[in-house]
């Protein structure tokens, strides 16, 4: 899918967008692993695929200048994806593909090639309010299409540097990094499929960790298991804070 980025310099304002893979593990190998849930713990080298495609364009199209992004820079990837027809922005504020749901990485190549541009598709959320009703902390207002960051579990467990507000004690549903409740209940994710890309797999020790292993995790284990994971964003101290917050 492609769109024209009119606000960027003319020589590099065309965008090729794609959705890559399915990053969610719907099951874990250890039934005691209550803290993993469906969160994403792998951070694959997704831009490898984009760079391979750039190489393909060099062979089949000619010299092409561009830059690849997969959650790697502050680009408006969700809106660009909407504008290029990859999906619509749902009431949970996520991009929903009508045949794939929302479990994927958004990827972009900004380059200097002209395209026949695609356009947006319609919003198919309709009267559904499942994501609004299911949010453990009421972070999505009644009208939807907005997430209140001051109530969002993903914000608390990933971005927040201070202590988690005590009024949310008991509302985290065992999430220690991020939250997918508003995706899990979305009817469109019945069309999502698990990936078959080894690069997307988490560290093998992760899925065998018991609840006791999580509670007693050391910084050495953290560095080993999450070496190529987005969990590094919260750092060891942040993950320990999140785990401790779930304790009774």
List residues with catalytic annotation: 71
Q: With beta carbons less than 8 A apart as the criterion, state whether 17 and 107 touch.
A: yes
Q: With beta carbons less than 8 A apart as the criterion, state whether 158 and 179 touch.
A: no
Question: Which residues have CB under 8 Å from 157's CB, separation 6+?
Answer: 164, 172, 175, 176, 177, 178, 179, 234, 238, 242
Please report, for the chain, how many H helices and E strands are present, in that order. 8, 6
Given CA atoms 80, 191, 104, 67 in this order, what sign does their dihedral have? Answer: negative
At 229, list the tokens. Answer: 């994971």
Instruction: Tell the residue number behind the tokens 């092409």, with chain if given.
Output: 64
């Amino acid at each position: 899918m492609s769109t024209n980025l009119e606000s960027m310099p003319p020589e590099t304002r065309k965008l090729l967008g794609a959705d890559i893979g399915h990053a969610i593990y719907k099951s874990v190998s250890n039934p005691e692993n209550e803290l993993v849930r469906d969160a994403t713990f792998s951070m694959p080298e997704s831009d490898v695929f984009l760079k391979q495609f750039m190489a393909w364009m060099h062979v089949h199209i000619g010299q092409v200048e561009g830059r690849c992004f997969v959650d790697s820079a502050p680009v408006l990837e969700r809106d660009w994806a909407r504008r290029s027809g990859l999906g619509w922005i749902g009431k949970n504020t996520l991009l929903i593909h009508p045949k794939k749901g929302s479990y994927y990485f958004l990827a972009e190549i900004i380059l200097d090639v002209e395209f026949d541009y695609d356009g947006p598709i319609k919003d198919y959320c309709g009267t559904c309010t499942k994501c609004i009703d299911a949010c453990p902390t009421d972070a999505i207002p009644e009208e939807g299409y907005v997430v209140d960051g001051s109530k969002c579990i993903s914000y608390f467990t990933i971005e927040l540097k201070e202590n988690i507000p005590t009024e949310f004690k008991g509302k985290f549903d065992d999430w220690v990094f991020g939250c997918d409740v508003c995706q899990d209940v979305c009817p469109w994710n019945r069309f999502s499929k698990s990936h078959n890309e080894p690069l997307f797999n988490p560290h093998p020790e992760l899925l065998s960790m018991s609840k006791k292993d999580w509670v007693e995790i050391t910084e050495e284990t953290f560095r080993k298991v999450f070496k190529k994971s987005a969990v590094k964003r919260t750092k060891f101290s942040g993950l320990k804070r999140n785990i401790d917050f779930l304790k009774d």
